[in-house]
Amino acid sequence: MRNQPSTLQAVLRVVLLLAALLAATDSAQADKLIGLVQPGQLIFGHAKYEDDCEKCHKSFDKSAQSGLCKDCHKEIAEDLAKSRGYHGLMKEQKECNQCHTEHEGRDARIAKLNTVGFDHMETGFELKGGHLDRKVLCRDCHSPLKKYRQVPVTCVGCHRKDDKHKGSLGTACANCHDEKSWKSTHFDHSRTKFPLSGKHEKVKCLACHPRNRFQNTPTLCNECHKKDDKHKGRFGPKCEVCHTDRDWKEILFDHDKQTKYNLLGKHRDTKCVACHKGDLYRDKLKTDCYSCHRKDDKHKGRFGIKCETCHSENGWKQIPFDHDRKTKFILRGKHRDAKCVACHKGDLYRDKLKMDCYSCHRKDDKHEGQEGKGCQTCHNEQTWKKTSFNHLMSRYPLIAKHLLVECRKCHASFRYKDAKTDCWSCHSKQDVHKGAYGVKCENCHNTRDWKGRDFDHDKTDFKLQGKHSKLRCAECHTPQKAVGKGLTSSCVGCHDKDDQHDGNFGVRCEHCHETGDWKTIRVGSERRLGK
């Protein structure tokens, strides 16, 4: 109720005082007198109290007015007491007459509400999701025939007709659905006997709950996925033993821990059905290699049935067999890269291989057996072309320029023992003497250089002195007078044409002349130069 002007209040007090005086004699007359001073008609709902002012007003106590309102409007009083609803959640509590005015006529609206920009959170019912859609109007929820507070706050109160479950799941729609859309669910399946995990989390409810049937839903894999069982029941009904709910291809089964056969190498990537081709629980598989891989045995049984002796699960081509430690023949050089079957051509356990080179490489011997069977004397396992032969240990040690000469220059064939050791056999075409000095080149020459001569003429009967020491061999040893062919040690034998005495002084030129110069004359112990 609104406050009246002060003048009216004064009048009202006078009337009430008169009414009190007249009450003892005639109360009806007093009420008529009070009605004459009312400020206006009450609303239709309060009309019955129009002649009963004390229902809303207390004489001489203005603050009591809101309390009298609560006495009638008990639901509002309860909201205020429990701090709920629009009135109970108001940030600032006010007197009732500050918002609700009376005495303005029968059709007056004393509960006015501005719906534009109204914060619905102030009512305690927050609008979310689809409720915030602009298409949803206030009147869609608030019927004009009902008070705002009478609108239901439960989902089923408004959406009972939208319940596709027909009440079979109860009335707590919010347990599964939210305000965004009926199709959007947030049901916590983990609180049931079947928590959702893996791909089950993304499966639509109807895929497991057809016709919205939620009771007695099967929980065993095989009950739902029998049609997906590619094993056709051969591996039993307990799919979860091997598979996970993330993917059928993901195998959970730990073969190493749950069986006596550890999966190693390529076995780890092999599909289960590649080995388990029959009934998983009835057909027990053998664990030896040969039982499964007999058809892969390229040795045709010649190397026995213990494949694991040489091979591993990583691949047939990978050979972990340690030939160095497990045999008496250490593999070196190219032997290490050679295939097993290159040497082991027969039965591995029956045909014992010889370990000498010649037994295997006889066909590779380009020496045709001339050098014997000790191939390792010159060759090693790296290559036939690379030799370790020490020529110094042979009957012909290589020195000087012979060290730089390629083998094939002297050894035209691989029959090395046929090679000659004399100089003339190799160097006859280089003999500038045309054979005049014989075939023993080493008498004068050495292996360092043809021009270098090791022949010591002083060790012969004719020592080279004076100008003789500077002469070329061919100046004396002409083809006509080669070694042992007409040479003489007398001066006149070579210098007869140079004798200016015409033989008058004999043939002993050395009695007067020296080898240094003809012009030097020796007379007794004295010397003088000739003119």
Whole domain around residue 27: which residue ranges?
1-112
Structural domain count, the chain:
1
Q: Is residue 395 domain-resident?
A: no
Question: Could you tell me the pLDDT band of residue 531, with boundaries at 50, 70 and 90?
Answer: very low
Question: Could you tell me the pLDDT band of residue 8, with boundaries at 50, 70 and 90?
Answer: low
Q: Is residue 337 domain-resident?
A: no
Q: Is residue 444 domain-resident?
A: no
pLDDT at 15: 54
Burial readout 363-387 (b: 16 or more C-beta within 10 A, e: otherwise): eebeeeeebeeebeeebebeeeeee
Q: Is residue 76 domain-resident?
A: yes
pLDDT at 71: 93
Q: Is residue 484 domain-resident?
A: no
pLDDT at residue 378 tops 50 = yes
pLDDT at 106: 92
Q: Is residue 483 domain-resident?
A: no
Question: Could you tell me the pLDDT band of residue 329, with boundaries at 50, 70 and 90?
Answer: very high
What is the per-residue pLDDT across 160-189, written as a single tens digit (0 to 9) for each? 998 888 887 888 888 888 888 888 778 888
pLDDT at residue 2 tops 80 = no
CA angle centred on 365, ends 361 and 369, rounded to 5°: 115
Question: Could you tell me the pLDDT band of residue 73, with boundaries at 50, 70 and 90?
Answer: very high
Global pTM reads 0.41
pLDDT at residue 30 tops 50 = no
pLDDT at residue 35 tops 60 = no
pLDDT at residue 293 tops 90 = yes
pLDDT at 382: 86
The closest of 206, 252, 192, 200 to 221, measured between CA atoms, is 200
Q: Is residue 333 domain-resident?
A: no
Q: Is residue 384 domain-resident?
A: no
Q: What tokens does 516 get?
A: 């240094």
pLDDT at 68: 92
Average pLDDT score over residue span 471-480: 80
Q: What tokens does 529 get?
A: 């130069």
- The SS3 of residue 521 is strand
- For the residues of 119-164, what is the DSSP string, one character each? -GGGGT----GGGG-TT--HHHHS-TTS-GGGS--SHHHHHGGG-T
What is the per-residue pLDDT across 388-446, written as a single tens digit (0 to 9) for each? 778 887 788 888 888 888 888 888 778 777 788 888 888 888 888 888 888 888 888 88
